[in-house]
């Protein structure tokens, strides 16, 4: 072996690490070991950190790692298609960057070796996964990319389809939408697949054979394992892949993560090397600007400096009291005047829209004509009108109040150097994965708004700051936090600019132990109750807990035993004569769902009290509002007075008194009952095709407090659709003799996705790009079938769908 003299490690630290690893690895296979380090060490005994050398590699050979110098043309000798290499050369004329070369040469990603890459935004991480994916396809295996959001999956699907489709690669996506390619995935008719975390886990649990055909799994935005709500899914996917190794299934695993803190044994749990880089292709200046115009920043050379960025007299109070607008306006005027593009992060949708509005007035820029012409014209919202006003002044906003087509148009326009959008005001969701680089990023707040009201983590700040710097356009990027006073400026600089991102932690908590155990049991055929703690240790949360506390397994054993009793009592599990515990069909339905254990039990009880034969499938929309997962969705409510009590009558009119009484079950207070009723009534109107502006007006009790906007409607509809998929599996297990009802739930899932009455669904078969507004306009014109639509005159059809869609429909029909 060889050693690096620059990096040393103490012997006691090595011994302690060995003791911990031996103990925890034993627990992972159900064996108890208690190694102890005997003896003592006096003085500072240190060793060089050792790395594998020539002798080790000779004794334990892996697939040879072919070294690359940088040019993509070298890949032709390894069988990469000329068309793909030519495309990479065109996109990146300078070849692989330093990070990508290390991944190839030092870590062997083109030799099927797994890797976790931790690097800043825009550092080229995705290309590492892209290289390995094409290598996997060349070898006759599938490659899958797992991503956190449907919007990112759709963006990558379209991007990779356009990039590689001409080379013969079959690209698919699965997000839970009707346009998914689930059949192609199950039949292995694909090469590259893009999935949301939840969809991939659901598919693999339902069809375990899929893993046998996958050569590469790329987990993008892997830092989501720390997310309180999404982390459990990421962790369960990784635990599933670890268990697959024991069955001889070894897909290459590549994790791509934004900058994070210490790994806390995460890499050891996965048994995966880590490529860590802090370098960015475009260097970043990070700093804090106060209301005196003073900018304290860390320059690209690492030195802390203080400059006057704005003259103090340029910052004036523009409304009744001081606010962020006082600084944002002169700052944007200065930066945009220097031909910079800006992203301004705001912590509320309304603030983002307001920011884009006042900057459109203040900057004096011309209209973003191309983006304006690409916007939809039907079924618009209050935010749609706002957006047109902003685009007319060269600004835009990006939040969930926008229609999907509007968001996509904004993203394209902002990416285009000549798109005419100079400032994009956005909520924090834009920080995760969407490709919208800017010259400068401005953070107007440092905390989330809502029920938690927590401050941004350092990692969240770094991700937002990482959007600054456009490769090929800027020599440096800038990230600017706004502060009120010099004292706050110094405090924020110390916390965020100089701060280290938080350590990697699991979202696992002992309070949620029942949910974790049930989810784990849904991944295996059977296990003895005494071996369940070993299953928990195979999760990252259990692994970390067992490392930190030698007695952790013993402390959870009584809780596990109690939970096993509840599983048997509720009929979710059965125990055979050999004491092997396995889930029943109902248990598999609950365990494979997105629900917590307690929510699963609640839903089972509610469903068992429903006369399915006499209940319309539509009424299940009301029932799922009782779940805690739906209560966690923000539902604006005007709580002064009793005006929102009218929502109870809305439910009675739409669903009847039986569902109204069901909505009162498990309710902590009157306001929560009203929120359930409000969500149920909104969903009824949504799937019945009520226009969006009508929905916003109908369910807004006060325009200033608790207003309902399109983003709220879609959050409720998407949440209901997500939970309804879980309810569907449970319904199928409870009522297998009711196929008509189950088919009705299937139809309801589609209606929830598109917000359409059942009579309009055939219109989606004409062209999947038809928007809700276009479908409703066609229906109102008397055309509810493909035949009726194609029989319309050009003038009548254009009035419903616009000229661009008219041409697409006529072209599609001509090719049939």
Are the C-beta atoms of 772 and 756 separated by less than 8 Å?
Answer: yes
CB contact at 8 A, 254 and 109: yes
Interstrand relation of 580-583 and 573-575 (parallel, antiparallel or unpaired): antiparallel
d(CA 102, CA 94): 16
Residue 697 CB partners (closer than 8 Å, separation 6+): none
For helices 710-734 and 382-391, give the axis angle rounded to 10 degrees.
Answer: 140
Q: Encoding tokens for residue 301? A: 């050379």
**Residue recorded with tokens 């109107």:** 685
| Beta-strand pair 142-147/171-174 | unpaired
Axis crossing angle, helix 552-570 with helix 513-521, rounded to the nearest 10: 70
Per-residue CA distances from 803 to 437, 537, 640, 796, 799 (Å): 32, 59, 47, 11, 8
Query: What is the rounded distance in angstroms from the CA atom of residue 9 to the CA atom of residue 215?
Result: 36
Q: What are phi and psi of 735, to 5 degrees?
A: -130, 60
C-alpha–C-alpha distance, residues 546 and 537, integer Å? 7
Residue-wise burial string across 335-367, b where 16 or more C-beta atoms lie within 10 A, e elsewhere: bbeeebbbbbbbbebbbbbbbbbbbbebbebeb
Q: Give the residue ranges of the chain where pLDDT is below 50.
A: 1-6, 451, 816
Torsion of the alpha carbons at 479, 490, 427 and 456, rounded to the nearest 10: 120
Element (H, E) at 186: helix 182-186
Q: At 603, list the tokens.
A: 């839903």
**CA-closest candidate to residue 643, choices 682, 701, 696:** 701
Dihedral angle of Cα 498, 504, 510, 512, to the nearest 10 degrees: 100
CA dihedral 793, 797, 799, 800 (to 10 degrees): 150
SS3 assignment, position 67 = coil
| 3-state SS class at 92 | coil
Q: Nearest 5 degrees, angle CA 18-CA 19-CA 20?
A: 90
- CA-to-CA distance for 210 and 364, rounded, in angstroms? 55
Q: What angle do CA 20, 21, 25 make, to 5 degrees?
A: 120
Distances (CA, A) of 311 to 308, 334, 444: 7, 11, 19
Residue 417 CA to residue 39 CA, distance in Å, equals 67
Paired tokens of 54: 């020539």
Q: How far apart are CA 422 and CA 396, in angstroms?
A: 8
- Residues in CB range of 570: below 8 A, 6 or more apart: 601, 604
* pLDDT given for residue 3 in this prediction: 38
pTM: 0.88
Domains in the chain (CATH in brackets) are 2-59 (no CATH), 72-276 (3.40.50.300), 284-497 (3.40.50.300), 510-591 (1.10.10.10), 597-755 (1.10.3380.20), 759-815 (1.10.150)
Give the span between the Cα atoms of 189 and 166, in whole angstroms: 16
- Distances in whole angstroms, Cα of residue 674 to Cα of each of 317, 654, 701, 745: 40, 15, 12, 25
d(CA 696, CA 576): 55
> C-alpha angle with apex 448: 635 to 503, nearest 5 degrees?
125
CB of 423 within 8 A of CB of 363? Answer: yes
The tokens 């009929």 sit on which residue? Answer: 571
Say which residues have a Cβ less than 8 Å from residue 50's Cβ, sequence separation at least 6. 1, 2, 3
Using alpha carbons, select from 566, 624, 556 the residue that is nearest to residue 595: 624
Query: pLDDT tens digits for 599-634?
Result: 999 999 999 988 988 999 999 999 999 999 999 999
Q: Are 296 and 493 in contact (CB under 8 A)?
A: yes
Which H or E run includes 509? none
- Report the run of H or E that residue 354 belongs to, with start and end: helix 349-363
CA-to-CA distance for 53 and 314, rounded, in angstroms? Answer: 62
Closest CA to 635 of 704, 690, 707: 707
Q: In what side-by-side order are the strands of the sheet with 527-528? A: 527-528, 580-583, 573-575
> What percent helix, strand, coil does the chain show, rounded to 5?
50, 10, 35
d(CA 685, CA 441) in angstroms, rounded, equals 39
- For strands 395-398 and 284-289, give the pairing: unpaired
Alpha-carbon separation of residue 13 from 9, 47, 219, 267, 347 (angstroms)? 7, 11, 31, 18, 43
Q: What would the two tokens of residue 609 be?
A: 């009290």
Tokens read off for 143 = 């490659």
Q: Which residue has the tokens 């932690």?
A: 505
DSSP-based three-state secondary structure for 146? strand
């Amino acid at each position: 072996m060889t050693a690096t003299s620059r990096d040393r490690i103490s012997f006691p630290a090595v011994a302690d690490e060995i003791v911990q690893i031996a103990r925890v690895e034993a627990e992972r296979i159900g064996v108890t070991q208690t190694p102890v380090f005997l003896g003592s060490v006096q003085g500072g005994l240190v060793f060089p950190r050792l790395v594998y050398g020539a002798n080790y590699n000779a004794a334990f050979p892996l697939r040879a790692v072919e070294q690359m110098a940088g040019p993509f043309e070298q890949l032709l000798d390894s069988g990469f298609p000329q068309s793909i290499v030519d495309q990479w050369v065109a996109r990146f004329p300078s070849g692989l960057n330093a990070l990508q070369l290390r991944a190839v040469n030092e870590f062997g990603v083109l030799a099927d070796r797994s890797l976790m890459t931790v690097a800043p935004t825009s550092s080229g991480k995705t290309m590492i996964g892209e290289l390995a994916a094409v290598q996997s396809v060349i070898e006759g295996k599938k490659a899958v990319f797992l991503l956190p959001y449907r919007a990112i999956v759709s963006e990558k699907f379209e991007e990779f389809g356009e990039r590689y489709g001409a080379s013969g690669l079959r690209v698919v996506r699965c997000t839970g939408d009707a346009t998914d390619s689930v059949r192609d995935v199950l039949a292995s008719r694909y090469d590259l697949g893009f999935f949301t975390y939840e969809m991939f886990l659901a598919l693999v649990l339902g069809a375990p054979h899929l893993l046998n055909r996958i050569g590469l799994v790329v987990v993008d935005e892997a830092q989501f394992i720390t997310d309180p709500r999404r982390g459990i899914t990421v962790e369960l996917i990784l635990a599933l892949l670890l268990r697959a190794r024991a069955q001889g299934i070894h897909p290459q695993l590549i994790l791509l993560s934004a900058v994070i803190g210490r790994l806390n044994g995460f890499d050891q749990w996965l048994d995966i090397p880590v490529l860590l880089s802090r370098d960015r292709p475009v260097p970043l200046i990070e700093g804090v600007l106060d209301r005196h115009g003073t900018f304290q920043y860390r320059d690209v050379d690492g030195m802390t400096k203080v400059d006057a960025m704005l003259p103090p007299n340029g910052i004036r109070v523009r409304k009744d009291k001081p606010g962020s607008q006082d600084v944002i306006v002169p700052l944007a005027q200065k930066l945009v005047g220097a031909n910079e593009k800006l992203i301004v992060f705001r912590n509320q949708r309304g603030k983002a829209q307001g920011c884009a509005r006042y900057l459109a007035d203040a900057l004096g820029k011309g209209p973003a004509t191309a983006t304006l012409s690409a916007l939809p014209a039907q079924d618009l919202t209050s935010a749609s009108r706002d957006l047109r006003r902003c685009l007319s002044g060269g600004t835009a906003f990006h939040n969930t109040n926008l229609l999907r087509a509007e968001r996509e148009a904004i993203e394209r326009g902002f990416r285009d150097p000549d798109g005419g959008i100079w400032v994009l005001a956005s909520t924090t969701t834009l920080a995760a994965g969407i490709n919208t680089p800017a010259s400068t990023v401005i953070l107007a707040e440092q905390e989330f708004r809502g029920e938690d009201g927590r401050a941004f983590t350092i990692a969240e700040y770094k991700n937002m700051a990482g959007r600054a710097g456009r490769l090929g356009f800027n020599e440096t990027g800038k990230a600017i936090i706004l502060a009120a006073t010099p004292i706050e400026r110094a405090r924020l600089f110390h916390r965020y600019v100089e701060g280290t991102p938080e350590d990697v932690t699991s979202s696992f908590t002992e309070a949620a132990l029942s949910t974790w155990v049930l989810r784990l049991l849904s991944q295996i055929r059977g296990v003895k109750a005494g071996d369940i703690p070993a299953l928990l240790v195979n999760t990252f949360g259990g692994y970390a807990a067992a490392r930190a506390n030698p007695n952790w397994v013993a402390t959870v054993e009584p809780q596990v035993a109690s939970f096993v009793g509840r599983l048997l009592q509720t009929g979710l599990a059965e125990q055979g004569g050999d004491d092997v515990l396995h889930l029943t069909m109902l248990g598999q339905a609950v365990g494979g769902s997105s629900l917590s254990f307690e929510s699963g039990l609640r839903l089972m009880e509610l469903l068992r009290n429903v006369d399915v034969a006499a209940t319309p499938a539509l009424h299940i929309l009301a029932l799922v509002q009782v779940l805690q997962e739906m209560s966690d969705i923000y539902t604006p409510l005007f709580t002064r007075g009793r005006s929102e009590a009218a929502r109870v009558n809305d439910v009675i009119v739409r669903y009847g008194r039986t569902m109204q009484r069901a909505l009162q079950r498990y309710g902590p207070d009157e306001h929560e009952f009203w929120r359930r009723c409000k969500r149920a009534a909104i969903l009824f109107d949504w799937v019945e095709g009520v226009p969006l502006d009508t929905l916003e007006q109908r369910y807004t009790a006060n325009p200033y407090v608790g207003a309902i906007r399109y983003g709220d409607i879609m959050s409720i509809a998407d949440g209901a659709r997500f939970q309804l998929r879980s309810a569907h599996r449970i319904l199928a297990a409870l009522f297998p003799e009711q196929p008509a009802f189950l088919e009705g739930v299937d139809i309801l899932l589609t209606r929830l996705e598109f917000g359409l009455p059942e009579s309009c669904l055939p219109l989606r078969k004409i062209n999947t790009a038809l928007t809700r507004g276009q479908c409703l306009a066609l229906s109102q014109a008397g055309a509810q079938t493909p035949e009726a639509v194609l029989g319309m005159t050009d003038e009548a059809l254009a009035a419903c769908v616009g000229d661009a869609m008219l041409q697409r429909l006529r072209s599609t029909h001509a090719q049939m």
